[in-house]
Amino acid sequence: MTLHDPELVIRPALATDVRRIRALVKSYVDARAIVPKPAVAYYEGVQEFLLVERGDRLVGCGALHVMWEDVAEVRTLAVDPMEKGQGIGSTLLTELLQRARTLAVKRVFCLTFEVGFFARHGFSEIEGEPVAADVYAEMLQSYDEGVAEFLDLDRVKPNTLGNHRMLLTL
């Protein structure tokens, strides 16, 4: 699949891409715009990632992580700062949302500082528990930090301070 620019190609990530993904998101992690994760978390979730490349250069990435029967999270959506404003982030998000539809996911969550970007794609800010009490109790058993962010647990708040919890219903 290609983007508007014929030099740009979007494709699923491979395990051999993890080092490049981590290099791309490093500046976002350093700025606390993306929650830091150990390398092993990237390898464990590599199948969730889509990449955008210009030739052999990685210029964008994003992942879709299913959290429950009807909820998934857009994670680690990042664009090379030199490539911003060219539609790479929007294209990645559109493809990730299509993946969610294919998986029959009805709601997509994100934790972000980029409220305007996600709002332009139909996301709205949420407060409180976004799932029923029985599902909340089941999700509490997850070791995944993204699930903890979704549930707005106190233990993750120091790492997510200032981020906005947003949700899109497909």
CATH number of the domain at 127, please. 3.40.630.30
Could you tell me if residue 33 is inside a domain?
yes
Q: What mean pLDDT is predicted for residues 47-72? A: 94
pLDDT digits (tens, 9 = 90+) for 104-137: 999 998 988 899 999 999 999 987 676 665 665 6
The model's confidence at residue 163, banded by pLDDT at 50, 70 and 90, is confident
Distance (Å) of CA 69 to CA 41, 103, 133: 22, 9, 15
CB 64 within 8 A of CB 99: yes
Is residue 44 included in any domain, yes or no?
A: yes
Q: How far apart are CA 170 and CA 123, in angstroms?
A: 10
Say how many domains are in the chain: 1
- Say if 3 falls within a structural domain: no
Task: Provide mean pLDDT across the span 159-170.
Answer: 79
> Is residue 76 in some structural domain?
yes
Task: Give the range of the structural domain holding residue 124, as residue numbers without chain letter.
Answer: 8-169
Mean pLDDT of the chain: 86
- Residues 21-50 have a mean pLDDT of 94
Question: What is the model's pTM?
Answer: 0.84
User: What's the rounded Cα separation, in Å, for the pair 134 and 127?
Assistant: 18
Q: Find out whether 59 and 80 touch, Cβ atoms under 8 Å.
A: yes
* Strands 57-68 and 49-54, sheet pairing: antiparallel
